[in-house]
Copies of this chain bind each other. A is one copy, B any other.
Amino acid sequence: MTRKLAKSAISQKRVLDAAAKIFRDYGYAGTTMRTIADEANLKAGSIYYHYKSKDELISAVLDIGMHAVLDTVNSALAALPADADVRQRIETAIRAHLSAIIDIGDYTLATRRVIGQVPEAIRAQNMRLRDSYASLWQTILVDAQKRGEFRADANITLSRLFILGALNWTVEWFKPGGRTIDEVAHEFAAVVLDGLGKPGNTKSEAAPAKARATPRITV
């Protein structure tokens, strides 16, 4: 009985893994049940024994992909000492995010890839997780600002969008075997915290005035 259950579970996992990989490579509409089946070593019709539809399959992949990142980052942060400073928190979160993308690999990659191609209904169902993740970051940033570790004039929400955007886009160029996760995480954290500018150079009183001098385009 345990073996039977195991067999079913194994097949289901095989299908899921195959789906993640294929979705990641071809996007939502570009993926066919047949291709997934081939990858999972069974016939297209057989997928339906495990998943009721293509949509249910992509849903499962999305869930795993989102949870992977969310949970990995969450745990990594929880593992930090209570008195960890911002730099540590942010670098840790970034490193965890990148790790998740590598480890759970296909799932997170597939998630980034197909979100936005997937039927509205499915995307909506996945929004909560996305929002949770956004909240996680927002909290880190807001806390840091409260504790006085951030510039008081920083727009936290915009900064979060900037950071998460950069992290999400990561899947478009990050390839295992190239740069180290640590290397990337370290550098990204540096940009986020210190910027690229030379310490002394920072925002002279004149600078903002200059910036304001350029005509504002309102949209």
- Using CB atoms and an 8 Å cutoff, list the residues of chain A in contact with chain B: 27-30, 85-88, 91-92, 95, 99, 102, 113, 116-117, 141, 144, 148-151, 154-155, 158-159, 161-170, 172-173, 176-177, 179-184, 186-199, 201-203, 207, 210-211, 214, 216-219
Closest to A207 in B: B87
Supply 5 further A-B pairs (C-beta < 8 A) apart from A27-B117, A164-B169, A182-B214. Answer: A87-B211, A162-B188, A165-B169, A180-B217, A186-B211
CA distance A155 to B202 in the complex (A): 19
Indicate if the CB atoms of A210 and B88 lie closer than 8 Å.
Answer: yes
The prevalent SS among residues of A at the interface is helix
A198 partner residues in chain B, CB cutoff 8 A = 148-151
Indicate if the CB atoms of B87 and A182 lie closer than 8 Å.
Answer: no
Cβ-closest 4 pairs across A and B: A165-B169, A29-B29, A195-B195, A193-B197
A148 partner residues in chain B, CB cutoff 8 A = 198
Contact A219 B30, CB 8 Å, known A162-B191, A165-B168, A166-B169: no
> Which has the most chain B C-beta neighbours within 10 Å: A192, A194, A211?
A194
Cross-chain contact of A151 among B87, B88, B173, B194 (Cβ < 8 A)? B194
CA distance A105 to B3 in the complex (A): 44
Indicate if the CB atoms of A187 and B170 lie closer than 8 Å.
Answer: no
Contact A191 B159, CB 8 Å, known A165-B170, A197-B150: yes
A192 partner residues in chain B, CB cutoff 8 A = 191, 195-196
Indicate if the CB atoms of A216 and B180 lie closer than 8 Å.
Answer: yes
Closest to A193 in B: B197
- CB pairs A–B below 8 angstroms (11 shown): A87-B207, A88-B210, A88-B211, A95-B217, A102-B219, A141-B196, A161-B170, A165-B165, A193-B202, A194-B195, A199-B203
